[in-house]
Amino acid sequence: MTTLFRDTVYEVASAIPKGSVATYGQVAALAGRPGAARAVGMFMSKNKDSNKVPCHRVVASNGALTGYGMGNGLSTKKTMLQKEGVQFKGEKVDLSESQWQPKKGR
């Protein structure tokens, strides 16, 4: 199986349910490469599958919104997430309430 790490990341990102968000490190770990958070972010920047991958549901480990086009794009991303039901803590996502739980429970 010649599964590209990149494709796996895209699948994981697209698997994030609405109203929840995942951190880059979390996505990287689910993709099978814990520690590749930087690479994950790069794939989003490339955004080859932006039409399939909701990269806006991927945030930094501290819940801060990063990237998404340029500076001002973050405002759009924040608003979009709020509309999806994600809880916000100032300019950061309330991971305590809206971080995605790939496994049930926790």
Interacting residues toward DNA by CB under 7 A: 4-6, 23-26, 33, 35-47, 50, 55-56, 58, 60-62, 66-68
User: Rounded to the nearest whole angstrom, what is the least distance from the CB of residue 103 to DNA in the complex?
Assistant: 18
∠ CA 37-47-91, rounded to 5°: 60
* Distance, CA of 104 to CA of 20 (rounded, Å): 13
- CB-count exposure of residue 101 (10 Å: 0-12, 13-18, 19+): exposed
User: Rounded to the nearest whole angstrom, what is the least distance from the CB of residue 66 to DNA in the complex?
Assistant: 4
Specify the residue, 46 or 85, whose C-beta has the smaller distance to DNA. Answer: 46
SS3 18: coil
DSSP state of 27: H
Q: 9, 55, 65, 86: which one is catalytic?
A: 55
User: Rounded to the nearest whole angstrom, what is the least distance from the CB of residue 48 to DNA in the complex?
Assistant: 7
Active-site residue flag, 55: yes
Q: How many CB atoms lie within 10 A of CB 42?
A: 15
Hey, which residues are catalytic here? 55
